[in-house]
Every structure is written in structure tokens, then in C-alpha cells.
């Protein structure tokens, strides 16, 4: 699986965000999360496929997501969830670009909604996956 253009999923993802928080969230689809962060003088590590942040001036919540997500990047996320995250069969649930993107965006929303930093990755995974799997029912 790969995702050529996340922008084609924007409408669904924005609905998902409004369904899971009352706080306004801006979804920004960008070519490169690391470059965008550098261009906006925001510190960060590596080049993630998504990132959550609070806009300094406005206080708005923002979810950044890379426009194109390759198969190797998706596999890396799924491997991490299975091997290190404690979700050994998650690959059976995140089988489409839509379900994968839903997980990814909700994971980033979890950081914002719960004020969790990068040390809370497992908690963000659990929060996001609980909602994705609930929505699938």
C-alpha cells in the first residue's frame, strides 16, 4: 500500500477530526514535514510523515501530514505498531489508505487533545486505534 496524494482524502480526514474533538484543527497537507517545520522555524527531529503542533501566534491546533506516503514508510509504521507498540495484528485492521490515514491523523490529534508529548507515543497509538476500530464497526 502507498498513498500518492493525501489531499484526495482531505474531506474525510477533516470530518474525522471534527468528530473526535470540539477544538478547531487545521489539516495541512505538505510535501515534506521536516522542510515545512524548518521553513516555519519549528524544531523537530527527523522527517516524520505527520506531526501535531500548536500554532504559536493563534493557538490553533495543526496536523501536518506528508502529501505522498510511500509503501516503505507505511510498512515502517505498521512494523513499529506490531513489534514495539503491542498491537501484533494491527496490519489486519489498517488495510486501506483510508484506515491508515485515519489512524495517522488521530494519532497526531491524540498529542493535541491530551497534551501528550513524544514520550507518550504508545498512549497516542492506543487512543487513535481505539477510535479507528470503533469507527470501522
Q: How many CB atoms lie within 10 A of CB 83?
A: 10
What value does the mean pLDDT take over residues 20-29? 94
Global model pTM greater than 0.85: yes
What value does the mean pLDDT take over residues 25-42? 90
- pLDDT of 49-81, one tens digit each? 999 999 877 888 999 999 999 999 999 999 999
Phi-psi region of 59 (alpha: psi -120 to 50; beta: other; left: phi over 0): left
Question: What pLDDT is stored for residue 137 in this prediction?
Answer: 67
Closest by Cα among 99, 128, 93, 113 to 25: 113
Amino acid at each position: 500500500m502507498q498513498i500518492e496524494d493525501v489531499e484526495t482524502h482531505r474531506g474525510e480526514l477533516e470530518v474525522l477530526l471534527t468528530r473526535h474533538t470540539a477544538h478547531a484543527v487545521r489539516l495541512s497537507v505538505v510535501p515534506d514535514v521536516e522542510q515545512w517545520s524548518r521553513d516555519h522555524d519549528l524544531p523537530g527531529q527527523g522527517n516524520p510523515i505527520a506531526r501535531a503542533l500548536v500554532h504559536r501566534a493563534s493557538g490553533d491546533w495543526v496536523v501536518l501530514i506528508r502529501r505522498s506516503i510511500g509503501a516503505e514508510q507505511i510498512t515502517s509504521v505498521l512494523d513499529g505498531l506490531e513489534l514495539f507498540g503491542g498491537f501484533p495484528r494491527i496490519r489486519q485492521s489498517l488495510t486501506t489508505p483510508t484506515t491508515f490515514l485515519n489512524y495517522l491523523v488521530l494519532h497526531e490529534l491524540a498529542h493535541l487533545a491530551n497534551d501528550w508529548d513524544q514520550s507518550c507515543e504508545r498512549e497516542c497509538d492506543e487512543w487513535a486505534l481505539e477510535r479507528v476500530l470503533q469507527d470501522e464497526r
